[in-house]
A = this chain, B = another copy of it.
Amino acid sequence: MDRVKRIEGTVTTPKGFLAAGVHCGIKKESLDLALVYSTSLAAAAGVFTRNQVKAAPVQLSRQRVPGYAQAIVINSGNANACTGLQGLADAEEMARLVAESLGISPEHVLVASTGVIGVPLPMERIRKGIEVITQALGPNGEEAARAIMTTDSFPKMAAVQVEIGGTVVTVGGMAKGAGMIHPSMATTLCVMTTDAAIEPHLLQVCLEQAIDRSFNAISVDGDTSTNDSAFLLANGLAKNPPIRREGEEFARLQAAVDVVAGELSKLVVRDGEGATKLVEVRVKGALEHTDARKAAEAIATSLLVKTALYGGEPNWGRIMAAVGRSGARIQEDRITISICGEQVVVGGVGVPGAFEAAAEKLKAKEVVISVDLGLGPGEATMWTCDLTEEYVRINSGYMT
């Protein structure tokens, strides 16, 4: 097996990982507490929100990676953010209770939360939930993926296999969306696991690179959360020769983690709140990568572009306007724009008669916007979704 092979699976697919998801009562009915557990101590890496306002579990977990961990406990329905010292104490208690129940060290438990900001955690319910969930661990990871959902409409899971030093290694993962997702932060909630053997600091490099190419290249609404966390645990049970440097073996693991992170991030965009289309924005011909990135981000976050796509209108003027205000260095008469392969702008000016053909192609569920700035070698790709009335409905009645 020379390449990364996609398989059905999730966080429990790599050897030695168990998981569970239960309802403990933070939410009215749905699953709201998840646990991922490795039967042996694992190398642990983490990437967190860049928001200056960081939730209590983020403040706790970021001190424990890169390092070693054996369990990750996650609640949904309550972000445990802007909750002061009580919030920190609650996050620590969650880690301690999980550790006690599993007979491991509290320092080896990572914590994440997602949900409403500013409300103290209902610790009585969480305590009981932790008692239950530590007894419910098993090989089926789907309930854990469901238990981390907030406004997601489906659980997000992915897994791959790759050969490292003659040994088959598995990488699996789960993530949650679906609003408040933006590249100027680390990521949304994402847990990945692997049975590869690798040093914690190299694992951290691997996770950071994977997130940069996946969760940091998507945008749903331009907002960024106080809680975003991505974790990667590697327990070594595949028994490959341990990866201790960035060579061929590291590259293979990186490729595998990239695929899982990429799949999960696209699932998040596809499930963007109220979204009906997955939109890929490709910018090339920029003077430098940063120019391409600025232009791609301006297009991917423009409300006017996103509403036009929802309406099925190839309104390329809004794309030109977004590029023009992006800060990318441009020359208006060098710009070419295609929508789903249909050229609509050449030399900065509209192609006569292209509107109908482009409108026809915009009916697809997956849309590609390609912009060539015609100036240099810089390229960037981002993924986003359209903006719909449903997004407004979901977010105007979130708390009630």
Give the B-binding residues of A (Cβ under 8 A): 50-54, 79, 81-84, 116-119, 179-180, 184-185, 221-226, 301-304, 307-308, 310-311, 313, 315-318, 320-325, 330, 332-333, 345, 347-350, 387-389, 391-393, 395-400
Contact = CB atoms under 8 A, between A and B. Distances in A.
A277 to B, nearest CB: 12
A304 B221 contact: yes
Given A84-B349, A311-B396, 14 more contacts: A52-B324, A52-B325, A52-B330, A53-B332, A118-B316, A221-B303, A222-B301, A225-B321, A303-B391, A308-B398, A311-B398, A311-B400, A315-B399, A389-B392
Contacts of A51: 321, 324-325
Contact of A52 (B83, B116, B118, B332): B332
A222 B303 contact: yes
A304 B395 contact: yes
B303 A349 contact: no
Contacts of A325: 50-53, 184-185, 223-224
A81 to B, nearest CB: 7
22 contacts: A50-B325, A52-B324, A53-B320, A53-B323, A53-B324, A53-B330, A81-B321, A84-B349, A116-B315, A117-B315, A117-B316, A117-B317, A118-B317, A118-B320, A221-B303, A222-B302, A223-B325, A226-B320, A308-B399, A311-B396, A313-B398, A315-B398
A222 B306 CA distance: 13
Contacts of A348: 53, 82, 84
Nearest to A386: B396
A137 to B, nearest CB: 32
Contacts of A222: 222, 301-303
A311 B224 contact: no
Rank and list the top 8 A-B pairs by shortest CB-CB distance, nearest first: A117-B317, A53-B324, A311-B396, A307-B395, A389-B389, A118-B350, A51-B324, A52-B324
Contact of A180 (B79, B180, B304): B304
Given A82-B349, A321-B180, A302 B223 contact: yes
Contacts of A304: 179-180, 221, 223, 395
B117 A318 contact: yes
A90 to B, nearest CB: 13
B308 A117 contact: no
Nearest to A319: B117
Contacts of A302: 222-223
A395 B311 contact: yes
Nearest to A315: B399
Given A52-B330, A53-B324, A313 B397 contact: yes
B332 A82 contact: yes
Given A117-B318, A224-B321, A350 B82 contact: yes
